[in-house]
Amino acid sequence: MKHPVPNTEDAVLALGQRLQKTTRPGLTLAGEILTLDLCGGLWLSRLRTLIVSDLHLEKGSAYAARSGQFLPPYDTRETLACLHEVVARLDPACVVALGDSFHDARGPERMEPGDRAMVAALQEGRDWVWIAGNHDHAVSEGVGGRYAETLALGGLTLRHEPSLDAPDGEVAGHLHPCGKVAMRGRAVRRRCFVTDGRRLIMPAFGAYAGGLNVRNAAFDPLFPAGFTAHLLGDGRVFAIGKGMLSKD
Amino acid sequence: MPERFGAWFASRGWAPRPHQLELLDLVHAGRSALLVAPTGAGKTLAGFLPSLTALAGRPPSAKSRGLHTLYISPLKALAVDIARNLEAPIDEMGLGIRVETRTGDTPSHKRTRQIARPPDILLTTPEQLSLLIAHREASDLFASLSCVVLDELHALVTSKRGDLLSLALARLHRLSPGLTAIGLSATVREPDELRRYLMPQGRRADPGQEVRLLEEEGPAEVRGSSEDAAPLAAALASRARKRDDDDEPPVSSPMADLVVVKGGAAPDLHMLDTGLTLPLAGHTAWQAMPAIYDLIGRHRTVLVFVNTRLQAEYTFQELWRINEENYPIALHHGSLDATQRRRVEAAMAAGQLRAIVCTATLDLGIDWGDVDLVVNIGAPKGASRIMQRIGRANHRMDEPSKAYLVPANRFEMLECQAALDAVEAAAQDTPDARLGAPDVLAQHVLGMACADAFDPLQLYDEVTSAAPYAGLSWEAFEAVVDYVATGGYALRAYERFAKILRGPDGLWRVRDARVAQQYRMNVGTIVESAKVKVRLARGVRGKPGAILPRGGRVLGEIEEDFADTLTPGDTFLFAGEVLRFEGLSEDEALATRAGPGTDPAIPSYAGSKFPLSTFLAARVRALIADPFEWDRLPKQVAAYLLQQRSRSLLPGERDLLVETFPRSGRYYLTAFPFEGRLAHQTLGMLLTRRLERARMRPLGFAANDYGIAIWLNRDVGARIGIEPDFLESLFAEDMLGDDLEAWLDESAMMKRTFRQCAVIAGLIERRYPGQAKTGRQVTISTDLVYDVLRKHQPDHLLLKAARQDAATGLLDVKRLGMMLRRIQGRIIHKALDRVSPLSVSVMLEIGRERVYGEGADEILAEAEAQLLEEALG
């Protein structure tokens, strides 16, 4: 069995060359310049705003309550730790959680005090917006921040579920897009951003959030003229055309 | 033996065999016993005779008699077959004994009735037994049980299935204290492990254990006193239970009595020599196909065993390509559609087939048809495995079984010779006894709570009476109970959802009926990888290349992991044909028949591959090391070894040969530990990490059963010139420390191992075949769970369970450790200016197999480059 060894000097050099070729200033959507962060967040440097989607906090405890499956109860702190990393790095003036921030409406009640404190610390000194999702529509108290059904941000419209008749500039989540690349008998499946230059669907941010393949029919009506998926690799984000992506 | 039985034997022209009478005596004296006998010795009848005679001797008026005997088989089909075979003696002697089977196929009304009005003898599987002892009525059902018969015990005890069965057996011993256990086994190296397995451990040893060796000609009886403290027992005792009372008597390790049937005709076994020169690598044995075909022509029914499904597919195709006589030749492997397999089995039983190409699926089980020759293609991999396979031919122990070993490359000739020697010496390589797996125990503990409220101290005593769990500490047991209750997390988040609850009386009870239902859905230790059906798609008339979504018949199933790697247009071998993958439709893979002459492009799909056994590997090393042995080898192999000796050198029996040489602008390092592919893959990953740290710039590695090859940008040979200790430190045993831990955490195989533990322990629910495939965004990925858990609670029970499995399973770390100890101070380095004959064999593996789970970014970058080309081009 043959195993390439990653991260040798050669491989790093080769990767660097490819990086030079493929580095773009950013993605433009409705006149706004967006940076796709490797953690799965979207960064608007002009407005110093960070958007993250589908945190699905307390998914583990939701399973324990509902179906008796005791998944490790550390998903909330894991998700918040990732969020902390990107917030510390970018120091946003505003953070938008694009819906399904909690796995269910009772998620906030089940949250451990330590995790609750972590949320409060993240919110300190910045604007924090919870956009309503389908899982957590009734989230209302005890978790700080403000609430909105949708949010207009520069030229962008932020909402949880993508809508077919939205004007250009919609940023949504909900679908948990994942892209799969199969090549020479190998397959790599990663979370991704999906965009056609008119709208953008965010990857899920939560530690236990699953993924829906972007070649699933659910994406067809949203991107009638095709799309590019930006897959979250180990070292950077990779832009991959629809034609190179496999179905499940 | 009662007169009725003697008359029945006589009416058949038979006489009871000495071991059958021995076993009868022992069991009637209330003793448990292990019967070790070769195939065809009448083992099964021996196992049932004590029960049949006891039941026949009951007064006819006895009513509501209850269950008397339980028979456990590893295969459902075997239980059904044996029930049928018992009918003849019972009917012909008019014994009036009720025999029934209980399997997954038994209808629910019958299952209910079997509990209310049990038969005299019930034949079932380990999983069904676990369900039975978790039943609310279990204590009533088994109160009358007098005998349990465990068939093919050697095959059961080496797996987690054996762990589960040992726990069920411990419960049976408690429910029916006078129970005698009979184990039936093929020849094994360590019968003592099986003897312990049958007996409740930790009780005072019984001084009167007997060992009897029986030759088929007249009983030659040997009485031996069995020592109490065998190595395992000593090891287990050293991890002795910590309880409050200091004056606890020493842990004892009683064993069941032993009856060994020696002899049986020696097998008529040969290596197939086609006279052609074999390649240095490769596993297809294409040269041998005409010779095998010729053998098929000269026998009634031939079983052609191969090691992987890929080999099965290939061999089947090749045999049909040259099948001018149109012999009925069939294919049988685990991925084929079940109805297709049943058809093949029925045709074989009816004597309609001349040959069946098969994998391990036919290693065990029913004697279908009149097989007069076994052909084993490829390396035998283990002496016991080859014995088992040879035994499939000619099921009468006084006639020799006839078999050919067919090596596919020159190395396999060495391995075949080693196997021939081992069979001649009747040597065995059965794996060592297991330490019971914690995930299996977790499943059992939940089952016991479903049966009745349990007292933890009492259950601990019961569990540690099962041989695999004899060394379990009280703390480890408590941790399992805690896991079952609330997941065993340091963060006590799930207390209020607990599955089992401890009452004020100190007893644990199951929370509600839903939890019990969950347990019943999850029972068993066999975790199938997710599969998708392969369906033949229909083309659209007049539209070449277009296919209809509603297809033709289902050909079988492939692993979802394999299906994931296919892209439309890929060709692969399946169900005896070359198929073209057309795409996935819901949970089915659609495929069309590829045109004639198409070569399959995707080389393999995940299938079982057995690593070379430790025992056979040692024999191969000894063969190589001793030139006086070479005249027993085929000439081409001896010549090859001579070439190696003149160009480089041949290692001694305990040495490790390391060669370094340049080739096409790169440097190579090859090493030959002979420890099997799994251990070598792990070694390769660890060595490349170390070489990277030593700035030797490794680029990749390849491994086979005999050795590994690593290619690098820098010359290890030159480094050794400057730094003579370099190799010793490279192969130092401490690589099993931090390096291993760091790699394990990321390893795809470790994630797969973790998933199996998580399913067995009930952390995530099983997926059943045919169950609607729910969208991936709603199912929980165990990979995500694994990542989170190892970050936040690295000492969790399931991570420990996965590491314990990694030691012997997919990663074979235990064997690697033994090898590293063996070669301390015995590494022989040879710097060469070009590749040696020995190294060629492993170099040929390069690029032959696919890669899993490493270097994802490189694949993504390549896909991205395509987009750029589109954009720029």
Which amino acid belongs to residue B376?
N
Q: Is B743 on the interface with A (CB under 8 A)?
A: no
Mean pLDDT of B137-153: 94
How close is the nearest chain A Cα to the Cα of B104, in Å? 25
A197 is in which domain, residue-wise? 8-161+169-244
Residues from chain A that touch B788, judged by Cβ atoms under 8 A, are 72, 74-75, 78, 207-208
Q: What is the pLDDT of residue B155?
A: 81
Pairing verdict, β B698-703 and A3-4: antiparallel
Q: What is the pLDDT of residue B725?
A: 93
pLDDT tens digits, residue range B325-354?
999 999 988 778 878 888 888 888 888 999
Please give the helix or strand (H or E) that residue B321 lies within, else none. helix B309-321
The C-alpha angle with vertex B471 and arms to B469 and B473, in degrees rounded to 5, equals 100
Residue A94 lies in a domain: yes
Decide if pLDDT at A12 tops 80: no
- HEC profile for chain A? CCEECCCCHHHHHHHHHHHHHHCCCCEEECCEEEEECCCCCEEECCCCEEEECCCCECHHHHHHHHHCCCCCCCHHHHHHHHHHHHHHHHCCCEEEECCCCECCCCHHHHCCHHHHHHHHHHHCCCEEEEECCCCCCCCCCCCCCEEECEEEECCEEEECCCCCCCCCCEEECCCCEEEEEEECCEEEEEEEEEECCCEEECCCCCCCCCCEECCCHHHCCCCCCCCEEEEECCCCEEEEEHHHCCCC
For the ranges B428-442, B562-576, B581-595, B618-632, the lowest mean pLDDT is seen at B562-576
Using DSSP's 3-state secondary structure scheme, residue B668 falls into strand
Separation between Cα atoms, residue B574 and residue B334, nearest integer Å: 12
The C-alpha angle with vertex B520 and arms to B517 and B521, in degrees rounded to 5, equals 90
Q: What is the pLDDT of residue A137?
A: 64
Q: What is the pLDDT of residue B801?
A: 94
How close is the nearest chain B Cα to the Cα of A78, in Å? 7
Q: Between B3-11 and B76-93, two packed helices, what is the crossing angle to 10 degrees? A: 100
Q: Is B742 on the interface with A (CB under 8 A)?
A: no
Decide if pLDDT at A172 tops 90: yes
Q: What is the pLDDT of residue B344?
A: 87
Is there a contact between A21 and B868 if contact means CB atoms under 8 Å apart? yes
Contacts of A63 (CB under 8 A, 6+ apart): A69, A70, A71, B780
Mean pLDDT of B611-637: 86
Instruction: Give the alpha-carbon dihedral of B580, B584, B590, B595, to 10 degrees.
Output: -10
The C-alpha angle with vertex B699 and arms to B698 and B702, in degrees rounded to 5, equals 100
Mean pLDDT of B500-516: 94
E strand segments, B605-734: 656-663, 666-671, 698-703, 708-712
Decide if pLDDT at B251 tops 70: no
Separation between Cα atoms, residue B285 and residue B348, nearest integer Å: 25
Residue A114 lies in a domain: yes
Residue A3 lies in a domain: no
For the ranges A96-100, B64-68, B371-375, the lowest mean pLDDT is seen at B64-68
Decide if pLDDT at A4 tops 50: no
Decide if pLDDT at B167 tops 70: yes
Confidence class of residue B234 from pLDDT cuts 50, 70 and 90? very low
**Minimal Cβ distance to A70: which of B699, B763, B788:** B763
Confidence class of residue B262 from pLDDT cuts 50, 70 and 90? confident
Q: What is the pLDDT of residue A10?
A: 44
Q: Is B846 on the interface with A (CB under 8 A)?
A: yes
Decide if pLDDT at B556 tops 90: no
- Of residues B291, B226, B290, B293, the one with CA closest to residue B253: B226
How much of chain B, in percent, has pLDDT values that exceed 70?
Answer: 82
CB atoms inside a 10 Å sphere around CB B869: 10
pLDDT tens digits, residue range B293-311?
999 999 999 999 988 777 8
Residue A50 lies in a domain: yes
Is there a contact between B701 and A64 if contact means CB atoms under 8 Å apart? no
- Of residues B490, B484, B848, the one with CA closest to residue B677: B848
Query: For the purposes of burial, counting CB atoms within 10 Å of the CB of B100, is it exposed (0-12), middle (13-18) or buried (19 or more)?
Result: middle
Give the total number of structural domains in chain A: 1
E strand segments, B401-520: 402-406, 500-502, 508-510
How close is the nearest chain A Cα to the Cα of B846, in Å? 6
Average pLDDT over chain B, rounded to an integer: 82
User: Residue B18, Cα to own-chain centre: how many angstroms?
Assistant: 33
Q: What is the pLDDT of residue B246?
A: 43
CA distances from B117 to A233, B56, B100, B451 (A): 61, 19, 11, 19
Question: HSE of B826 in the Cβ direction (CA atoms, 13 Å)?
Answer: 14
Confidence class of residue B500 from pLDDT cuts 50, 70 and 90? very high
pLDDT tens digits, residue range B770-811?
444 443 434 578 888 999 999 999 999 999 999 888 877 767
Is there a contact between A210 and B764 if contact means CB atoms under 8 Å apart? no
For the ranges B68-82, B163-177, B251-265, the lowest mean pLDDT is seen at B251-265
Q: What is the pLDDT of residue B702?
A: 80
**Minimal Cβ distance to B514: which of A18, A68, A235:** A68
Q: Is B634 on the interface with A (CB under 8 A)?
A: no
Structure tokens at B85: 């075979």
Residues for chain B: how many in total?
Answer: 873
- HEC profile for B65-113? CCCCEEEECCCHHHHHHHHHHHHHHHHHHCCCCCEEEECCCCCHHHHHH
How much of chain B, in percent, has pLDDT values that exceed 90?
Answer: 39
Instruction: Name the residue with tokens 């994802």.
Output: B856
Is there a contact between A1 and B702 if contact means CB atoms under 8 Å apart? yes
Pairing verdict, β B588-593 and B577-585: antiparallel
How close is the nearest chain A Cα to the Cα of B641, in Å? 24
Q: How many CB pairs under 8 A join A and B?
A: 219
Q: Higher-confidence residue: B158 or A26? A: B158
**Residue from B666, B714, B759, B784 to probe the interface with A (highest A Cβ count within 10 Å):** B784
Confidence class of residue B205 from pLDDT cuts 50, 70 and 90? very low
User: Looking at chain B from residue 650 to 679, which residues have their Cβ under 8 Å from any Cβ of chain A?
Assistant: 677
Q: Higher-confidence residue: A129 or B226? A: A129
In contact, B270 and B407? CB cutoff 8 Å: no
Decide if pLDDT at B532 tops 80: no
For the ranges B681-685, B695-699, B737-741, the lowest mean pLDDT is seen at B737-741
Confidence class of residue B387 from pLDDT cuts 50, 70 and 90? confident
Q: What is the pLDDT of residue A139?
A: 59
pLDDT tens digits, residue range A40-90?
999 999 999 999 999 999 999 999 988 888 999 999 999 999 999 999 999
How close is the nearest chain B Cα to the Cα of A246, in Å? 7
Residues from chain A that touch B450, judged by Cβ atoms under 8 A, are none
Sign of CA pseudo-dihedral B559, B564, B568, B572: negative
Q: What is the pLDDT of residue B226?
A: 38
Decide if pLDDT at B542 tops 80: no
Decide if pLDDT at A162 tops 80: yes
Mean pLDDT of B815-826: 89
Is there a contact between A235 and B781 if contact means CB atoms under 8 Å apart? no
Q: What is the pLDDT of residue A6?
A: 40
Structure tokens at B573: 């071998």
Separation between Cα atoms, residue B121 and residue B103, nearest integer Å: 14
**Minimal Cβ distance to B493: which of A112, A239, A241:** A112
Q: What is the pLDDT of residue B857?
A: 67
Mean pLDDT of B250-254: 70
Please give the helix or strand (H or E) that residue B635 lies within, else none. helix B635-647
Q: What is the pLDDT of residue B48?
A: 95
Decide if pLDDT at B606 tops 80: no
In contact, B616 and B381? CB cutoff 8 Å: yes
Mean pLDDT of B354-379: 81
CB atoms inside a 10 Å sphere around CB B328: 13
Instruction: Give the alpha-carbon dihedral of A210, A213, A216, A218, to 10 degrees.
Output: 50
Separation between Cα atoms, residue B234 and residue B252, nearest integer Å: 10
Mean pLDDT of B617-641: 89
Q: What is the pLDDT of residue A5?
A: 42
How close is the nearest chain B Cα to the Cα of A10, in Å? 9
Which amino acid belongs to residue B148?
V
Q: What is the pLDDT of residue B681?
A: 81
Decide if pLDDT at B548 tops 70: no
Separation between Cα atoms, residue B869 and residue B873, nearest integer Å: 5
Q: What is the pLDDT of residue B114?
A: 95
CA distances from B138 to A54, B180, B518, B561 (A): 48, 18, 18, 40
**Minimal Cβ distance to B602: which of A185, A216, A240:** A185
User: Looking at chain B from residue 680 to 699, which residues have their Cβ under 8 Å from any Cβ of chain A?
Assistant: 681, 684-685, 688, 692, 697-699
User: Looking at chain B from residue 744 to 773, which residues have their Cβ under 8 Å from any Cβ of chain A?
Assistant: 763-765
Which amino acid belongs to residue B608?
S
Residue A233 lies in a domain: yes
Residues from chain B that touch A245, judged by Cβ atoms under 8 A, are 863
Judged by phi (left if over 0) then psi (alpha if -120 to 50, else beta), residue B140 lies in alpha
Residues from chain A that touch B854, judged by Cβ atoms under 8 A, are 3-6
pLDDT tens digits, residue range B475-496?
999 999 999 999 999 998 899 8
Q: What is the pLDDT of residue A124?
A: 95
For the ranges B29-38, B569-578, B817-826, the lowest mean pLDDT is seen at B569-578
Residue A2 lies in a domain: no
User: Residue A121's domain is classified under what CATH number?
Assistant: 3.60.21
Separation between Cα atoms, residue A136 and residue A149, nearest integer Å: 11
Task: Kindly report the pTM of this predicted structure.
Answer: 0.81
Please give the helix or strand (H or E) that residue B303 lies within, else none. strand B302-305
